Structure 1
Amino acid sequence: MTAMKGQLFDLTGRTALVTGSSRGLGRAMAEGLAEAGAAVVLNGADAGRLREAAAEMRTAGRTVHEACFDVTDEAAVIAAFEALDAQGIAVDILVNNAGIQFRRPMVELDTADWRRVIETNLTSAFVIGREAARRMIPRGRGKIINIGSLTSDAARATVAPYTVAKGGIKMLTRAMTAEWAPHGIQANAIGPGYMLTDMNQALVDDPKFNAWVTGRTPSRRWGRPEELIGTAVFLASAASDYVNGQIIYVDGGMLAVL
């Protein structure tokens, strides 16, 4: 049933699992989803940092659960979903955000590092998405938001495994739509541009690279993590019930210009 206009972006009564959400983009999106009314399940592999993030959000009055697991550990992922099941926590919204970066020219790239980036950024989204969908399908509804990148659509030197993984995220999103849309699940992706995060701090501090980003981006600046919130809430809410298989770039216009 279509939500009333005032309820289109209301996530009250929904629970969102956001991977890699103890800091950075994941933390910002978790905060935004909570502000829109959702209970959130924070995730990270560092138990101490996860507890700290959860405590801060609870202090702000949010309903927060914790799921400490490494997204590349399939057994741990399955166990985490079973633990949520046992607590009666149903994941209505999944944000596959966890990711890593590794910069090296391809001719110097070890296969182990290639696999590590692919496993973390792409395979984990499949595994976690599969476990979420196995529970969403019987309920006849669900929202999956995969986090892509500018490199979902364009390559840059020295980040080949990241580029391949994020290109795969775009097609994984479409594959999820092809199979799960008939069950009331919407799977979409967000492609952030260059964002001010810990992962990008070295680039921000590099005068040459910083000048390239600000010069290449029509908005003439880096993005802020909280600027992903509006798109995340839209894709998590009833407002996007007929949006499926899409990737929305939040990039200050970078991909729009030559």
Structure 2
Amino acid sequence: MRGAVMMDKSAMSVNKSQVARRFAQAHHSYLQHAVIQQQICQQLVRLMQSHLTSRKLGRVFEIGCGTGALTRALEQHFQVQQLLLNDLYPEVQQQLFSTSRTEWWIGDAEQIAFPEQLDMLISSSALQWMQNLQQLFAKIAHALKPSGYLCFSSFGPDNLKEIKALTGQGLDYFSLPELRRCLESQGFEIVYLSETVKTLAFEHPRQVLQHLKATGVTGTASGHRWTKHSLQQFYQAYRQFSRLNVAGQQEYLLSYHPIYCIARSTG
């Protein structure tokens, strides 16, 4: 392994089987409610259009394809010769149209063997679930051809900060500088790296919880059980994250902190 930057987040103890179960349960509601995640996919592909020299791609491997928002955006704007798709749970295969150009690689991306000689690896809103990102980047670097591209979006420390502040539940996200160091330690050249914060507004805190459940983002809520009393406490405490909209009505905010990256293998 190149470099000495340690990026092991195993202490956060992500239960991958629970994550898979929560996303599988939210599979049919995800498309309707995951507005931010779909916007992120579109933005990632726009960045790829701006920073890649060719619209023709050979072998492309996607980690965490989910309902296929990134997959469809990629195929709309690029010519892909072979598409290899990964996710934790097999139900995703029902949502995406498979062709002779498509192969499925179901399982935990940190555990399964990767296809080799890849021209590109892509991922959107999935890498934040990885427990040892440096090890995964080393695995990706090995799977990519020389000068192959790694194009992904993940989330930064301010992601869902309101939920973590009130419940203590959430992931330990990597900051942009940490991601840069981790990528460079594995021999990647950073082509593009940026971050932003997007905010959703809801009429009531219960809708915040419904939104999270509908998008499967409750995969870290290990052992957390709501009671009538704790819900009321949560609703009351969430007022600190509210504001008045232009109509003078109170709305409750939820933050997303996407990070976008395009990197090139130098191996």
Q: Which structure carries more helix by proportion?
A: 1
TM-score by structure 2 length? 0.47
TM-score by structure 1 length? 0.49
Q: Which structure carries more strand by proportion?
A: 2
